[in-house]
Amino acid sequence: MEFDPDSFSARDWERPTDADPIRFAMVGLGWWTREQAIPAVEDADYCTMTVLVSSSTEKAADLAADLEGIEETLTYEEYADGAATDAYDAVYVCTPNGLHRDNVEAAATHDKAVLCEKPLEATVEDARATVDTCQEADVPLMVAYRVQTEPAARRARELIRDGAIGDVVSILGHMSDTILDSVDETSWRFDPDLSGGTTINDIGIYPLNTIRFVLEEDPQAVYARTESEQSAYEGTDEHAAFQLEFPDGKLASCTVTHSAAVTSSLRFVGTEGELSIEGLFFPNTRKVLRVSGPDIESEYRPEPVDQMREEFDYFANRLQHGLDVEPDGEHGMVDMRVVRALYDSAEQERRVELDR
Amino acid sequence: MEFDPDSFSARDWERPTDADPIRFAMVGLGWWTREQAIPAVEDADYCTMTVLVSSSTEKAADLAADLEGIEETLTYEEYADGAATDAYDAVYVCTPNGLHRDNVEAAATHDKAVLCEKPLEATVEDARATVDTCQEADVPLMVAYRVQTEPAARRARELIRDGAIGDVVSILGHMSDTILDSVDETSWRFDPDLSGGTTINDIGIYPLNTIRFVLEEDPQAVYARTESEQSAYEGTDEHAAFQLEFPDGKLASCTVTHSAAVTSSLRFVGTEGELSIEGLFFPNTRKVLRVSGPDIESEYRPEPVDQMREEFDYFANRLQHGLDVEPDGEHGMVDMRVVRALYDSAEQERRVELDR
């Protein structure tokens, strides 16, 4: 099997362009936007930031003072009303999940392309409406899963697609973090109306979406168990374990928790070998990809890339060429339905089939 | 944290002795006995083989001719009737699961210690009777899980017990092999009365039992999904994924299959780190133990030990000193009940609680 380890940091999607960079309005200035998204755009090749949208005029102004090229700072109301639409081409929406719909639909009204954080919305219904609005307005909508433009994930998909481990039979995934240490109990993350769910919804979506991405298939039925030990998580899912049934008998088993060491792993076992990736689900950590099969037996430790920068540049480069963006809204809808089925399963203590 | 990597091949259970070696009757001469158990005893420090028991007089005689020290070859009937009981001190029972009870109870009748292959029997009821008989006869009964005397598993338990990764939150386990390639469709493994189940029963028991061993806790509830793709497995479980709920919200997710590359992995994620072991569930393969925590960050690749030899020597050395053997029959009963609950769960498509 021919395989180029250098490809682990390569952008297989990149197309040269003389087009102007895509100008982003950053909608929502919470810690993820400030610490991950803004540095990524500052470092990006194909996009810039020109507008900041926040409920706090002061926060936006302070941030704008530290950044180059910010032309306008807007409140959500001003943004929704169409202020400064000449100053930006696309929006990055990173608000509490339950506010995504309003902010994406505003962008669609203004004919702006949308990069929306995952999950699409807090409920399947609001997510559906959000996607429909973008489709009717004919504006590109991409869900910011982040991992799908991570080179290690793309190389894993290629290796599996090329038969490096035979047919996939079993999949194991894990993600954990310590978010309780950085947010207080009043966070929107503990408000089901704004979040749509806690751990499965927030980080279970990483193994779920990445397994879908690598297999290029969707779950047909699921099961989940949730547990809450700490009082801040009462009535929500602090820890979870869940299973996903994919076509042809492939079974995935995953664990996720907001209360353990920051770590992630993903493993595909096939008829002829296995492929695993450590650290895949975190934005800037070192990844270790191990693959063992009849024609390949290797361990790769590629230089980490900034996943958020890759995602912004991919999205912008596609827009510059007028090409479709992936993962799109319909792709995101599948995760919305699967996550709802996982919570239904945990509630009912039984297997839940997905509607076809 | 003090930790001695050399301990990965050490026998923490070993006690010096001048006692005579324990003389085994090997009951059942299938491929596992011939290829794994007999070479292990030949290489052992504290035991020997003196008797072979088989349904085939010819097979036993041929094998005896190749081995040193075999004093008698017996049919199952002769063994049950008490032939040559002066020639052996203990029995190793490695027959189809559904024949364990008869052969263990015969040993108990003859006042012989028993090392019985896993699982204890094909049904919970027969396993219960087997354990009761040994208890009434006051003969030692150990279940041959093999991994509990593997040094890497014992060091993993110590590390976790000593707090190397904080409190365990999530556990992931996998085991797969290609047994279909080495047995035909008429094998007892596909006969539920003789096997008690296919993949979960045969190899799901490795992650199940090893997680119990490391955590020193038992599952409280379970869920399983089974799949059969190939015709030989019709109506049985070729592939499975299952979840185990341990005390304090610990959740384990496992996958097992008889139709994938030979591989195994086990991972414990804790509040302060993680510990993983590759290759743990196979008898002679290289193990890789990685542990990451506040006071330790290492990868160990200890020299492989022969797990079967370690198990035989442990069992024999304990008997020489008149000490209890572990894992005992009651320990094995828990796996019997959990495996039945897993199959019930797969059948009913719902979570099943274990009786307390």
Q: Kindly state the tokens that stand for B200.
A: 């979960």
- Supply the pLDDT for residue B142: 98
Could you list the beta-strand ranges (E) of chain B.
Answer: 22-27, 47-53, 72-74, 90-93, 113-117, 141-144, 168-176, 221-227, 239-245, 251-257, 263-270, 274-278, 288-293, 296-300, 352-353
- Report the C-alpha dihedral over residues A292, A298, A302, A308, rounded to 10 degrees: -10
Distance from the Cα of A272 to chain B's closest Cα (Å) equals: 5
Asked whether the predicted pLDDT for residue A242 surpasses 80, the reply is: yes
Rounded mean pLDDT of B251-278?
Answer: 97
| Contact in structure between B93 and B121 (CB atoms under 8 Å) | no
- Supply the pLDDT for residue A230: 85
Q: Give dist(CA B160, CA B155) in Å, integer.
A: 9
Which residues, numbered 332 to 351 in chain A, qualify as contacts with chain B under a Cβ-Cβ cut-off of 8 Å? 349-351
Looking at residue A131, its amino acid is: V
3-class state of residue A313 by DSSP: helix
Rounded mean pLDDT of B169-192?
Answer: 88
Q: Give dist(CA B150, CA B279) in Å, integer.
A: 11
Cβ pair B253:A254 closer than 8 A: yes
Cβ pair A252:B272 closer than 8 A: no
How confident is the model over A28-73, as pLDDT tens digits? 999 999 999 999 999 999 999 999 999 998 999 999 999 999 999 9
Between A241 and B57, residue with greater pLDDT? A241
Distance from the Cα of A179 to chain B's closest Cα (Å) equals: 12
Rounded mean pLDDT of B95-112?
Answer: 98
Distance from the Cα of A249 to chain B's closest Cα (Å) equals: 5
Q: Which backbone phi and psi does A221 adopt, to 5 degrees?
A: -160, 160
How confident is the model over A97-128, as pLDDT tens digits? 999 999 999 999 999 999 999 999 999 999 99
Which residues, numbered 217 to 276 in chain A, qualify as contacts with chain B under a Cβ-Cβ cut-off of 8 Å? 221, 223, 225, 227-229, 238-243, 245, 248-257, 259-261, 263, 265, 267, 269-274, 276
Asked whether the predicted pLDDT for residue A234 surpasses 90, the reply is: no
> How wide is the angle at C-alpha A321 spanned by C-alphas A317 and A326, nearest 5°?
60
| Residues on chain A touching B261 (C-beta within 8 angstroms) | 165-166, 269-274, 292-293
Instruction: Indicate the DSSP class of residue A243.
Output: E
| Contact in structure between B28 and B93 (CB atoms under 8 Å) | yes
- Supply the pLDDT for residue A191: 86
Rounded mean pLDDT of A173-179?
Answer: 95
Cβ pair A169:B274 closer than 8 A: no
Cβ pair A292:B171 closer than 8 A: no
- Supply the pLDDT for residue A137: 98
Looking at residue B127, its amino acid is: A
3-class state of residue B125 by DSSP: helix
B52 conformational bin, left if phi > 0, alpha if psi -120 to 50, beta if neither: beta
Q: Give dist(CA B131, CA B121) in Å, integer.
A: 10
| Residues on chain B touching A259 (C-beta within 8 angstroms) | 169, 271
- Supply the pLDDT for residue B356: 66
Q: How far is CA B355 from the centre of its chain?
A: 23
Q: Give dist(CA B139, CA B114) in Å, integer.
A: 7
How confident is the model over B153-166, as pLDDT tens digits? 999 999 999 999 99
How confident is the model over A293-306, as pLDDT tens digits? 999 999 999 889 99
CB nearest A170 (choices: B176, B272, B349):
B176
Q: What is the pTM of this model?
A: 0.96
Distance from the Cα of A351 to chain B's closest Cα (Å) equals: 5
Between A163 and B6, residue with greater pLDDT? A163
- Supply the pLDDT for residue A21: 98
With CA atoms as reference, the chain B residue closest to A294 would be: B261
Cβ pair B265:A172 closer than 8 A: yes
**Rounded percentage of chain B residues whose pLDDT exceeds 90:** 88
A42 shares contact with chain B (CB less than 8 Å): no
Q: Which long-range contacts (CB under 8 A, 24 or more apart) does B294-301 make?
A: B294/B166, B295/B1, B295/B164, B296/B1, B296/B3, B296/B159, B296/B164, B298/B3, B298/B5, B300/B5, B300/B8, B300/B152
- Supply the pLDDT for residue A228: 92
How confident is the model over A66-106, as pLDDT tens digits? 999 999 999 999 999 999 999 999 999 999 999 999 999 99
- Supply the pLDDT for residue B1: 60
CB nearest A271 (choices: B240, B261, B276):
B261
Rounded mean pLDDT of B102-107?
Answer: 98
| Residues on chain A touching B293 (C-beta within 8 angstroms) | 261
Distance from the Cα of A134 to chain B's closest Cα (Å) equals: 38
Q: Kindly state the tokens that stand for B253.
A: 């997710």
Cβ pair A267:B174 closer than 8 A: yes
Question: Going by C-beta distance under 8 Å and a sequence separation of 6 or more, which residues neighbour residue A133?
Answer: A104, A105, A108
Cβ pair B229:A249 closer than 8 A: yes
| Contact in structure between B264 and B279 (CB atoms under 8 Å) | yes
H-only helix segments in A219-328: 307-320
Between A191 and B50, residue with greater pLDDT? B50
Polymer length in residues for chain B: 356
Cβ pair A269:B259 closer than 8 A: no
Q: Give dist(CA B207, CA A4) in Å, integer.
A: 35
B352 shares contact with chain A (CB less than 8 Å): no
Rounded mean pLDDT of A172-186?
Answer: 87
Computed on alpha carbons and rounded to an integer, the radius of gyration of chain A in Å comes to 20
Cβ pair B172:A255 closer than 8 A: yes
Asked whether the predicted pLDDT for residue A3 surpasses 70, the reply is: no
* Strand pairing category for A90-93 and A22-27: parallel
Q: Give dist(CA B232, CA B340) in Å, integer.
A: 22
Which band of pLDDT confidence, cut at 50, 70 and 90, is reported for residue B2? low
Preceding omega of B151 cis (within 30 degrees of 0)? no
Of A162, A173, A346, A184, the C-alpha closest to A272 is: A162
Q: Give dist(CA A130, CA B255) in Å, integer.
A: 36
Q: What ipTM did this prediction achieve?
A: 0.95
- Supply the pLDDT for residue A181: 78
Asked whether the predicted pLDDT for residue B116 surpasses 80, the reply is: yes
- Which secondary structure element, helix H or strand E, spans residue B60, and what is its range? helix B57-66
Q: How far is CA B143 from CA A91, A271, B121, in A?
A: 62, 30, 10
A174 shares contact with chain B (CB less than 8 Å): yes
Q: Give dist(CA B116, CA B327) in Å, integer.
A: 11
The mean pLDDT of chain A is: 95
CB nearest A176 (choices: B170, B228, B350):
B170
The mean pLDDT of chain B is: 95
Which band of pLDDT confidence, cut at 50, 70 and 90, is reported for residue A284? confident
Preceding omega of B327 cis (within 30 degrees of 0)? yes
How confident is the model over A290-348, as pLDDT tens digits? 999 999 999 999 889 999 999 999 999 999 999 999 999 999 999 999 999 999 999 99
Question: Going by C-beta distance under 8 Å and a sequence separation of 6 or more, which residues neighbour residue A131?
Answer: A120, A141, A329, A330, A332, A333
Which band of pLDDT confidence, cut at 50, 70 and 90, is reported for residue B247? very high
Question: Going by C-beta distance under 8 Å and a sequence separation of 6 or more, which residues neighbour residue A203?
Answer: A175, A176, A177, A256, A258, A281
